[in-house]
Amino acid sequence: MEQRPRQLTVIGDSGVYGWGDREGGGWCERLRRDWMQTPSAPVIYPLGVRGDGLEKVAERWQREWAVRGELRRQQPEGLLLSVGLNDTARVGRANGRPQLSLEAFRFGCGQLLNGMASSTQVLVLGLTAVDEGVMPFADCLWYANDCVALYEAALEEACLEADVPFLALHQAMLAEPDWLRWIEPDGIHLNAEGHHWLHQRVKHWPALLRWAGLIEQGQLTPTLA
């Protein structure tokens, strides 16, 4: 009897949706296509919604994750979370109130991860950098890298407490010489080059490859610690 492949739901915002990548459909779509070439690799269900923040994902994750097990009475074995950038934006002016306060974000991350981890294996991505020079976004939202760094740190802390694998992105992206060229003119969405960079980091993430069973089988070789 042929073994049923695992299912991985990827839930989050416009980054998961792939907005900005007109060539490959986004990092998640690129990973989905990669894994389709390997029969034993997990099946990926991208569940990205533009504009979503932590609270929106917390409202919808369970019902969307639960119905993608493909077979009756089965549920996906893994969930990859990618959310938080929208929560960092300040409304109206550069020093305005954040869409979600850092304290509320930190608390919400803990609650969300505990709920998810009680149902399935969870993995979490960090936040990408923004181009502050073109703010505000949509004439009303101000994103800044110092805020992004604080929110990513809160997300990482929640992952450590919940014993959930976390892939930091923000400082790694800022360390790249050409990172500003990877962002759309709107200042927050990755373009095709940016999605390619993120796809490569996720594709070679040892924690994800171990969950997928691809390291042991020798099908993919991780390059990231």
* Per-residue pLDDT in tens (0 to 9) along the chain, 225 residues: 356 778 999 999 999 999 999 999 999 999 999 999 998 899 999 999 999 999 999 999 989 988 887 766 778 789 999 999 999 999 999 999 999 999 999 999 999 999 999 999 999 999 999 999 999 999 999 999 999 999 999 999 999 999 999 999 999 999 999 999 999 999 999 999 999 999 999 999 999 999 999 875 444 444 443
Q: Count H helices, E strands: the chain? A: 8, 7
- β 43-48/7-12 pair status: parallel
Check residue 195 and give left, alpha or beta (phi > 0: left; psi -120 to 50: alpha): alpha
Distance separating alpha carbons of residues 201 and 225, to the nearest angstrom = 10
The token pair at 14 is 């416009």
The pLDDT, as a whole number, for residue 225 is: 36
The token pair at 85 is 């950038």
Q: What is the pTM of this model?
A: 0.91
Distance separating alpha carbons of residues 129 and 74, to the nearest angstrom = 37
Comparing C-alpha atoms, which of 153, 132, 54, 139 is closest to residue 99? Answer: 54
Distance separating alpha carbons of residues 60 and 151, to the nearest angstrom = 21
Contact 83, 159 (CB under 8 A): no
CB atoms within 10 A of CB 219: 16
Contact 26, 191 (CB under 8 A): no
The partner residues of 44 in beta bridges, in order of sequence, read 8
Distance separating alpha carbons of residues 98 and 152, to the nearest angstrom = 15
The pLDDT, as a whole number, for residue 65 is: 87
Which CATH superfamily hosts domain 7-212?
SGNH hydrolase (3.40.50.1110)
Contact 121, 78 (CB under 8 A): yes
Distance separating alpha carbons of residues 49 and 39, to the nearest angstrom = 28
Distance separating alpha carbons of residues 98 and 3, to the nearest angstrom = 47
The token pair at 104 is 């509320």
The pLDDT, as a whole number, for residue 21 is: 96
